[in-house]
């Protein structure tokens, strides 16, 4: 707090320099989609006195770089984030502008985005971010040819899934590709299992800071289900040394060595890049199946609702920053996202989806999210890093058979 | 023994000669001292200070006394990481030293092919650790790597990186592969310093290759072994990039060695105070080990191996 106060006194470095009205620095996750933000910035700067300067930070460094920048005098005025726990430390340090009243009083922002998306990014009922990229629900991808050859249908229930596991194992095909070496793909399994078994409220309690939520019977049951899947060979034998990052798991799917892959919607563009013919012809997608005895709604979704722009409290040009955020609701912006293969979270996005590289995939994804009663933010983004990091470690131990479901629960309850 | 007194005299004389030439002034060391202080001593002092604070990297560090240190001694994860670090260091040393020593002694010969081959040996050291880790990662991919094809010939399960022992041994092996050329070079240099006359005398006395190696080469390389071992041990203790790229500390936490635990605590959990305590502990252990090694090997007294002849 003290440091934040001192720094606020010094003002933001980035405010100086630039002509006329000054400059706003905006940090953004530096991947392919940056070109869309670049175009938006260019458009905005044409009419604004205060110019926005976009700083793309290469993906893997983004979180660390933002963290160190926010603790220094040269913090960005606007920054990209995942909402939830990813901004909690900054909120606690009073470094993020509360946009609740701004959003509620502004028709463009208020009605511009899907309500579940805006809500998913909020924290303790307050909104700190404006959606600015595509949605990334986690879906169950599958190899259509393998399913047709074995006369199976994409699993909707747990029985379907058990059957598919048995059939594929019998054929020497790994039922599910899993990049266990990266840990976060394993987390996706826990997220969906807990949602289907106990409903979204269980995790909401944990996200709210109540670590006793880990003691909910649904968490234990999810962990036990994971163990059953692992022991039953659902992920094959060597998933611990398979990566997502270097393409190990996606290649298993497109080479027909694995039948299914639980992954974020970006799996589609990953496959399109690695194996275009497979992505166009054989790649199918469906929702995560129901789990026997579970109380969760099978229409619920987990993943990354979207990314958000938040504003630093130390900025000298708050009004200009908010004016820039409003351009995220513009039709031209969501069109640019669609053309890039992303599904915007704006409420009128449905009408633009036909120009997507794969309209079918775009429409399915959009309606999946639009109809979802709940969209749970990926746990490692929803929780603060001091819980998220041990969580990933404990999940990895559970999958690797280094701890029991009971030990997993006990370890998570003890994390503070 | 009669040579002893003339020998000491010579030594005294040499010292006097050095004195006459005049030692370089301290000023020459100044840039070095300044940089060392700025980039080694000051950060170290800050790390030690931070180990007594709670710091999330955003707000100011708040002193918490010895909290981090009491936590450190009770933390099973730290204990496991320390044990894994020691294990990795021991395995790396035991694997690298004999090979580097033999290669170095062999490369100290004078045939033309050896010069060429020494240059070839040296190549791994020129590659970046990241590139090497990614290369081995690809080779050891259980589904698409070379290991999938050739592993079964040797009875090796392709899932090396997914098993606890396999992952740790892989990390040790990859590190060894990269740094062995460096140690080979040190041993080559050391072996070249051994006077030819010793071997000639031994040959006249009828000593064979093995006897020459164990009675001349090894004792003469004593200090080289110490130097190389200290570098190797400190290197293995601070081993990080390979783990980050190849295993990410897994499976589970089975390759979470101290530097990786420090990284995870500091830059993923943002518990920088505790990470500083881990770092400080690592510095203490590494310094302690080097001191012990130097003392017990007699390297500390800086007795030259050549003077023994």
Alpha-carbon gap, residue B181 to B194, rounded angstroms = 20
Q: What is the DSSP letter of A80?
A: E
Q: Residue A326 belongs to what H/E stretch? A: helix A318-326
Chain A residues in contact with B56 by the CB 8 A cut-off are: 89
Q: Is the dihedral of CA B123, B129, B131, B132 positive or negative?
A: positive
**pLDDT, tens digit, 9 for 90 and up, residues A200-244:** 999 999 988 888 999 999 999 999 999 999 999 999 999 998 988
- When the pLDDT of each residue in chain B is averaged and rounded to a whole number, the result is 86
Please indicate whether, in this complex, the C-beta atoms of B269 and A403 are within 8 angstroms of each other: no
Report pTM.
0.85
DSSP string, B38-75: IIIIHHHHHHHHHTTEE--SSS--EE-TTHHHHHHHH-
What is the reported pLDDT for B27?
A: 87
**Given a cut of 60, is residue A17 above it in pLDDT?**
no
Joined tokens for residue B167: 């992952």
Interatomic CA distance for residues A195 and A187, integer angstroms: 12
- CA dist., res. A2 & res. A24, Å (int): 24
A164: nearest Cα among A177, A154, A149: A154
pLDDT (0 to 100) of residue A273: 85
Neighbours of A350 (CB within 10 A): 15
Look up residue B266 and give its two tokens: 């500091």
- Is B252 in contact with A71 (Cβ distance < 8 A)? no
Phi and psi at residue A26, in whole multiples of 5°?
A: -125, 120
Question: Which has the minimum average pLDDT: A63-72, A148-157, B114-123, B281-290?
Answer: B114-123
H/E element, A303: strand A301-304
Which residues 128-187 of chain A have a CB within 8 Å of chain B?
180-183
Q: Whole-angstrom Cα distance, residue A352 to residue A344?
A: 9
Chain A residue whose CA is closest to B267: A64
Classified as helix, coil or strand, B238 is coil
- CB-CB contact of B154 with B160 (8 Å): no
What is the tens place of the pLDDT at every residue in B65-110? Answer: 999 999 999 999 999 999 999 999 999 999 999 999 999 998 888 7
Chain A closest-CA separation from residue B308 CA (Å):
53
Cβ of A402 within 8 Å of Cβ of B159? The answer is no
User: Per the structure block, which two tokens stand in for B137?
Assistant: 């990662």
Q: Is the pLDDT of residue A16 over 80?
A: no
Asked if A385 has any chain B CB less than 8 Å from its own CB, the reply is yes
Would you tell me which residues 217-246 of chain A have a C-beta closer than 8 angstroms to some C-beta of chain B?
A: 237-243, 246
Tokens of residue A139, six digits: 């879906």
Which helix (H) or strand (E) segment holds residue B15: the answer is helix B4-21
Please state the rounded mean pLDDT for residues A347-361.
88
- Give yes or no for residue A4 having a pLDDT over 50: no
Which residues neighbour A161 within 8 Å (Cβ) at sequence distance 6 or greater? A155, A289
Q: What is the DSSP string of A343-403?
A: ---BTTGGGGGGGSSSHHHHHHHHHHHHH-S-EEE-HHHHS-HHHHHHHHHHHHHHHTTSS
Q: Are A288 and A262 in contact (CB under 8 A)?
A: yes
Residue A160 tokens read as: 């379907």
Question: In sequence order, which residues have a C-beta less than 8 Å from that of residue B94 and are 6 or more positions away?
Answer: none
Please state, in angstroms and rounded to a whole number, the distance separating the CA atoms of residues A110 and A89.
Answer: 26
Q: For residue A383, what is the nearest residue in chain B, using CA coordinates?
A: B269
Contacts of A386 in chain B (CB under 8 A): 269-271
- Provide the pLDDT for residue A61: 81
Contacts of A176 in chain B (CB under 8 A): none
User: Cβ(A150)–Cβ(A168) under 8 Å?
Assistant: yes
> Which pLDDT score is estimated for B14?
45
What is the complex's ipTM, to 2 decimals?
0.82
Please report, rounded to a whole number, the percentage of residues in chain A having pLDDT higher than 70.
95
Q: Which of B147, B170, B251, B273 to mutate to test the interface with A (most CBs of A within 10 A)?
A: B251
Rounded to whole angstroms, the Cα distance separating A303 from A191 reads 9
| CB nearest to B158's CB, from A182, A238, A386 | A238
Chain A interface test: which of B50, B55, B59, B263 (most A C-beta within 10 Å): B59
Q: Where are the beta strands (DSSP E) in A64-154?
A: 78-81, 130-131, 136-143
Q: Which of B59, B247, B267 sits opposite A4 (nearest CB)?
A: B59
| Residue written as token pair 């005049």 | B22
Phi, psi for A47 (deg, rounded to 5): -110, -10
Per-residue pLDDT at B43 exceeds 90: yes
Asked if A261 and A138 count as a contact pair (C-beta separation under 8 A), the reply is no
A284 at interface of B, judged by CB pairs closer than 8 A:
no
Q: Classify each residue of B69-98 as buried b or exposed e, where b means 16 or more C-beta atoms within 10 Å of its C-beta.
A: beebeebeebebbbebbbebbebbbebbbe
Q: pLDDT at position B155, please?
A: 85
Q: CB of B286 within 8 A of CB of B110?
A: no
Query: What phi and psi, each to the nearest 5 degrees, are found at residue A73?
Result: -70, -15
What average pLDDT is seen over chain A?
A: 90
Which two tokens mark A54? Answer: 């976009």
Q: What SS3 state is found at B157?
A: coil
Q: Closest Cα partner for A83 from A30, A126, A32?
A: A126
pLDDT in tens, A64-110: 899 889 988 889 999 999 988 889 999 999 999 999 999 999 988 88
Residue A262 contacts residue A192 (beta carbons within 8 Å): yes
Share of chain B above pLDDT 70, in %: 89
> A301 by DSSP, 3-state: which?
strand
Residue numbers of A between 8 and 67 with CB closer than 8 Å to B: 64, 67
Tokens 């033309």 appear where? B112
Q: Which two tokens stand for residue A363?
A: 């429409």
Chain A residues near residue B271 by CB distance under 8 angstroms: 386
- Rounded to an integer, the average pLDDT of A298-327 is 94
Nearest CA to CA, how far is A3 from chain B (Å)? 5
CA distance A316 to chain B (A): 20
Give the residue on B whose Cα is nearest the Cα of A72. Answer: B58
Q: Are A328 and A108 in contact (CB under 8 A)?
A: no
**CB within 8 Å: B270 and A252:** no
CB–CB of B187/B173 below 8 Å?
no
| Structure-model confidence comparison of residues A176 and B1, the more confident one | A176
- The pLDDT of residue B304 is 53
What distance in Å separates the CA atoms of residue A259 and residue A142, rounded to the nearest whole number?
6
Q: How many A×B Cβ pairs under 8 Å?
A: 104
């Amino acid at each position: 707090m003290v440091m934040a106060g001192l720094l606020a006194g010094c003002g933001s470095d980035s405010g100086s320099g630039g002509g006329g009205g000054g400059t706003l620095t905006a940090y953004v996750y530096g991947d392919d989609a940056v070109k869309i933000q670049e175009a938006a910035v260019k458009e905005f700067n044409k009419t604004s006195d205060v110019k926005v300067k976009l700083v793309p930070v290469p993906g893997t460094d983004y979180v660390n770089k933002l963290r160190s920048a926010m603790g220094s005098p040269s913090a960005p005025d606007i920054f990209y984030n995942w909402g939830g726990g990813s901004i909690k430390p900054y909120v606690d340090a009073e470094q993020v502008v509360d946009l609740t009243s701004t959003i509620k009083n502004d028709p463009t922002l208020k009605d511009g985005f899907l309500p579940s998306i805006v809500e998913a990014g909020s924290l303790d009922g307050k909104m700190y971010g404006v959606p600015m990229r595509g949605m990334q629900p986690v879906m169950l991808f599958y190899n259509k040819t393998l399913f047709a050859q074995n006369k199976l249908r994409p699993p909707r229930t747990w029985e379907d899934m058990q059957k598919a596991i048995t059939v594929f194992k019998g054929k020497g095909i790994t039922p599910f590709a899993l990049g266990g070496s990266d840990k976060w793909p394993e987390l996706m399994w826990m997220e969906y299992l807990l949602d289907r078994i106990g409903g979204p409220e269980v995790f909401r309690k944990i996200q709210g800071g109540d670590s006793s939520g880990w003691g909910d019977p649904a968490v234990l049951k999810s962990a036990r289900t994971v163990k059953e899947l692992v022991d039953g060979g659902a992920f094959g034998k060597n998933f611990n040394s398979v990566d997502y990052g270097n393409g190990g798991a996606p290649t298993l799917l497109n080479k027909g060595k694995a039948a299914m892959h639980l992954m974020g919607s970006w799996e589609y563009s990953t496959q399109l890049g690695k194996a275009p013919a497979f992505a166009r012809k054989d790649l199918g997608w469906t929702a995560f199946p129901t789990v026997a005895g579970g109380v969760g709604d099978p229409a619920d979704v987990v993943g990354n609702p979207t990314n958000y722009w938040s504003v630093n409290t130390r900025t000298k040009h708050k009004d200009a920053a908010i004016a820039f955020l409003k351009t995220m609701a513009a039709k031209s912006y969501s069109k640019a996202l669609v053309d890039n293969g992303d599904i915007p979270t704006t409420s009128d996005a449905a009408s633009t989806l036909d120009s997507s590289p794969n309209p079918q995939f775009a429409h399915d994804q959009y309606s999946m999210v639009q109809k979802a009663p709940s969209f749970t933010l990926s746990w490692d983004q929803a929780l603060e890093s001091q819980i998220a990091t041990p969580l990933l470690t404990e999940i990895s131990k559970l999958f690797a058979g280094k701890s029991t479901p009971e030990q997993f629960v006990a370890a998570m309850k003890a994390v503070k | 023994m009669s040579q002893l007194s003339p020998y000491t005299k010579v030594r005294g004389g040499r010292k006097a000669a050095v004195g006459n030439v005049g030692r370089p002034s301290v000023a020459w060391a100044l840039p070095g001292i300044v940089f060392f202080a700025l980039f080694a001593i000051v950060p170290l002092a800050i790390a030690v200070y931070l180990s007594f604070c709670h710091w999330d990297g955003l707000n100011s560090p708040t002193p918490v006394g010895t909290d981090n240190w009491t936590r450190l001694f009770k933390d099973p994860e730290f204990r496991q990481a320390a044990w894994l670090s020691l294990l990795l260091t021991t395995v790396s040393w035991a694997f690298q030293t004999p090979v580097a020593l033999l290669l170095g002694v062999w490369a100290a010969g004078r045939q033309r092919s050896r010069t060429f081959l020494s240059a070839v040996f040296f190549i791994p050291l020129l590659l970046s650790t990241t590139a090497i880790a990614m290369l081995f990662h690809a080779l050891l991919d259980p589904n698409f790597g070379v290991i999938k094809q050739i592993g079964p010939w040797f009875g090796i399960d392709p899932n090396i990186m997914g098993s606890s022992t396999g992952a740790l041994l892989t990390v040790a092996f990859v590190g060894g592969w990269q740094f062995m050329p460096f140690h080979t070079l040190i041993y080559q240099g050391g072996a070249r310093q051994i006077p030819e006359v010793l071997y000639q005398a031994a040959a006249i006395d009828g000593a064979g290759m093995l006897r020459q190696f164990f009675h001349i080469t090894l004792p003469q390389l004593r200090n080289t072994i110490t130097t190389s071992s200290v570098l190797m041990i400190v290197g293995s203790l601070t081993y990080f990039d390979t783990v980050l790229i190849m295993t990410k500390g897994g499976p589970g936490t089975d390759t979470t060695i101290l530097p990786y635990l420090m990284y995870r605590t500091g830059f993923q959990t943002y518990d920088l105070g505790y990470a500083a305590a881990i770092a400080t502990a690592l510095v203490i252990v590494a310094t302690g080990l080097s001191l012990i090694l130097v003392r017990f090997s007699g390297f500390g007294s800086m007795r030259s191996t050549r003077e023994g002849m």
